[in-house]
Amino acid sequence: MNILKFLWTFYHQMASPRHFYGYTNYFIPFFTTICMVLMVAGLYYGLFVAPPDYQQGDSYRIMFIHVPAAWMSLFVYMVMATMAVVSMVWRLKLAEIIGSSSALIGAAFTFLALVTGSIWGKPMWGTWWAWDARLTSELILFFLYLGIIALNSAIEDKRKAAQATSVLTLVGVVNIPIIHYSVTWWNSLHQGATIDIMKGKVAIDIQMLIPLILMAFAFKFFYAAVVLKRARCEVLNRERNSTWVKELISQKG
């Protein structure tokens, strides 16, 4: 019961802009440190320890950037969709802030996935781009991110902007399962999933799996650190006329 009470209190504190800002002072350095450790370990293991692929040679090593970036493009969008529901139902200001702060990061991950995928596809498919189901749906996701960013910037009232972008975000959720299952539903140039948690399928050598997992977690902690950094700046901007922000500014001189 004490744990549940603590979690409930923590939840309500995190819903408060003032408490949220205070917690970010601890979370951001923590997440950044973990991200750096995991990324250095993942890149070293992926570039120097993992063996060459028996078909692709060393060209497959771009996978350690491409695959985690593709995973994050979907993960960040689902975070935004969750925040959209929370902001529409409970009208929490921090949910709106987390959602809007995530859009640019998600767009960056999606762009990275598209670029690295094209670089990887050139030696494998003989072309930089193909209107493959997976590639096309991922490109649509990138345009969704850009649309959400543009819509949020076009509306001056942040609460109204949050309502509009929440609707667009939830409409775009239909694209997420299309991206995930595109290689199954359609005849695709893109290879099938090498890791399927639901089916317990891992069609990859353990020496390649380890750096892939390390990079996947590194990207998640990178996202956590950056979204908190962006969110705390937005909190200060929205709360600039509040007493606690004025006190904070006076304390820092």
The per-residue pLDDT for 12 is: 60
Do the Cβ atoms of 230 and 101 come closer than 8 Å? Answer: yes
The per-residue pLDDT for 130 is: 85
**d(Cα 252, Cα 112) in Å, to the nearest integer?**
38
CATH number corresponding to 28-251? 1.20.120
The per-residue pLDDT for 217 is: 98
- Sorted by sequence, the CB contacts under 8 Å of residue 94 that are 6+ apart come out as 14, 15, 17, 20, 231, 235
Q: What are phi and psi of 201, to 5 degrees?
A: -100, 125
42, with CB counted inside 10 A (0-12, 13-18, 19+), is buried
Do the Cβ atoms of 231 and 97 come closer than 8 Å? Answer: yes
The per-residue pLDDT for 230 is: 97
Do the Cβ atoms of 28 and 229 come closer than 8 Å? Answer: yes
**d(Cα 20, Cα 32) in Å, to the nearest integer?**
17
Residues forming a β-bridge with 57: 53
Asked whether the whole model's pTM tops 0.75, one would answer yes
The per-residue pLDDT for 1 is: 54
Integer Rg of the chain from CA: 20
Q: Is 180 left (phi over 0), alpha (psi -120 to 50) or beta?
A: alpha
The per-residue pLDDT for 56 is: 86
Give residue limits of the domains in the chain: 28-251
The per-residue pLDDT for 14 is: 64
Residue stretches of the chain with pLDDT short of 70: 1-2, 4-14, 183-201, 203, 253
